[in-house]
Amino acid sequence: MTADDVIALPVAFSGQRLDWRDLPRHVRTRIAELAGAQVTAEISATSGFSPGFAAVLELADGRGVFVKAVSSEQNPVSPDLARAEARVAACLPPQVPAPALQWSSDDGDWVILGFDVVHGRSPALPWQPDELDAVLAAVADLSRVAPLPGHTLPRTEDQLAQDFTGWRKIAAMDPAEQDRGEAAGGEVGRWARQHLDLLQGCEQASLRAVAGTSLVHGDLRADNVLIDPDHRRVWLIDWPHASVGAPWLDVAFMLPSVALQDGGDPATIFRSQPASEGVSDDELRAGLAGLAGYFVWSSLQPPPPGIPNLRRFQAAQGMATLRWFRTLT
């Protein structure tokens, strides 16, 4: 199966989740202390790539709390992402539709976060037009928001400086490794191999293109969204990659995954959104080149611990982003 085939499939999101009984006793005790009551039941989260524990916990006093807990044993990077998510929570203004962080704990190994429970479900896949419209409206609102004064969020161009070097890394690879990437990418991979100079040039302009002053989630996909149909509300969850950058980034960077899940043509959707106003094709091309290079390069690396299906999804994301990029050349 090539990445061309994968694009047409609904891609599963899942890391290797822990259950409550899998947590060390001292972690379970600490969660109960922080929550202020004994845990009586759990409802595990089933979406998302992050490994570790993620569940709504029902408490003996009738309250609930959504808890994430992870250590380096599950994945060496995940604890730092959890620490980043705790820092980000302190920077989000109240109008941002994100669950509030109630408390956190970090013993140097296990990082534990406790959030308000919000009600909703992941979008139906393939994307349904009404649900996609609701999510796009929430992303449009987010594009007009700045983080709280005195925030500690990084600038997007700084955060992505190492990630947006994928095409230059691929150009420096052994030809046999380039062949492997081309074969995995099918026709789009062959096109990328033939246009490496163009992709590298656009990638080098990507950091200027992503700069700005808006709050950027940085990792929006269907698994990082909850929809509450009863209250007609969209929640944007999982914020460790937040930064301050261009207001059009979240919608643009979400759309390749929307295309993968049969939500429509990303180019058409992007230009229908208010955040796209004033964004030149050159700026969009640069941002997409940086994103595609990140995904394609990452997909060629060994699977990270605890997230065995991530590379398959990154390969498909990279090809979907390249398909859009090609329409701008």
- For 201-245, what is each residue's pLDDT tens digit? 999 999 999 999 999 999 999 999 999 988 789 999 999 999 999
- Residue 3's pLDDT is 38
Residue 107 exposed, middle or buried by CB count within 10 Å (0-12, 13-18, 19+): exposed
> Is the distance from CB of 224 to CB of 254 less than 8 angstroms?
no
89 φ/ψ sector (left φ>0, alpha ψ -120 to 50, else beta): alpha
- If you ran DSSP here, which 8-state letter would residue 304 be given? P
Q: What SS3 string covers 220-275?
A: CCHHHEEEECCCCEEEECCCCCCEEECCCHHHHHHHHHHHHCCCCCHHHHHHCCHH
- Residue 232's pLDDT is 85
Which pTM does this prediction carry? 0.92
Which alpha helices (H) appear in 113-154, and where do they start and end? Answer: 129-143
User: In order of start, what are the domains of the chain with their CATH numbers?
Assistant: 17-115 (3.30.200.20), 121-327 (3.90.1200)
Name the amino acid, one letter, at 49: F
165/206 Cα distance (integer angstroms): 10
140: helix, strand or coil: helix
DSSP-assigned beta bridge partners for residue 58: 41, 64
319/93 Cα distance (integer angstroms): 35
In tens, the pLDDT along 10-22 reads 344 445 679 999 9
In Å, what is the CA distance from 329 to each residue of 199, 249, 268, 284, 325? 10, 20, 16, 11, 7
- Residue 21's pLDDT is 94
pLDDT tens per residue, the chain (329 residues)?
233 333 333 344 445 679 999 999 999 999 999 999 999 999 987 666 678 999 999 999 999 999 999 999 998 999 999 999 999 999 999 999 999 999 999 999 999 999 999 999 999 999 999 999 999 999 999 999 999 999 999 999 999 999 999 999 999 998 877 777 667 678 898 999 999 999 999 999 999 999 999 999 999 999 999 999 887 899 999 999 999 999 999 999 999 999 999 999 999 999 999 999 999 999 999 999 999 999 999 999 999 888 888 899 999 999 999 999 999 98
Cis peptide before 126 (omega within 30 of 0): yes
**What is the bridge-based pairing of β-strands 101-106 and 111-115?**
antiparallel
The share of the chain scoring above pLDDT 90, in percent, equals 82
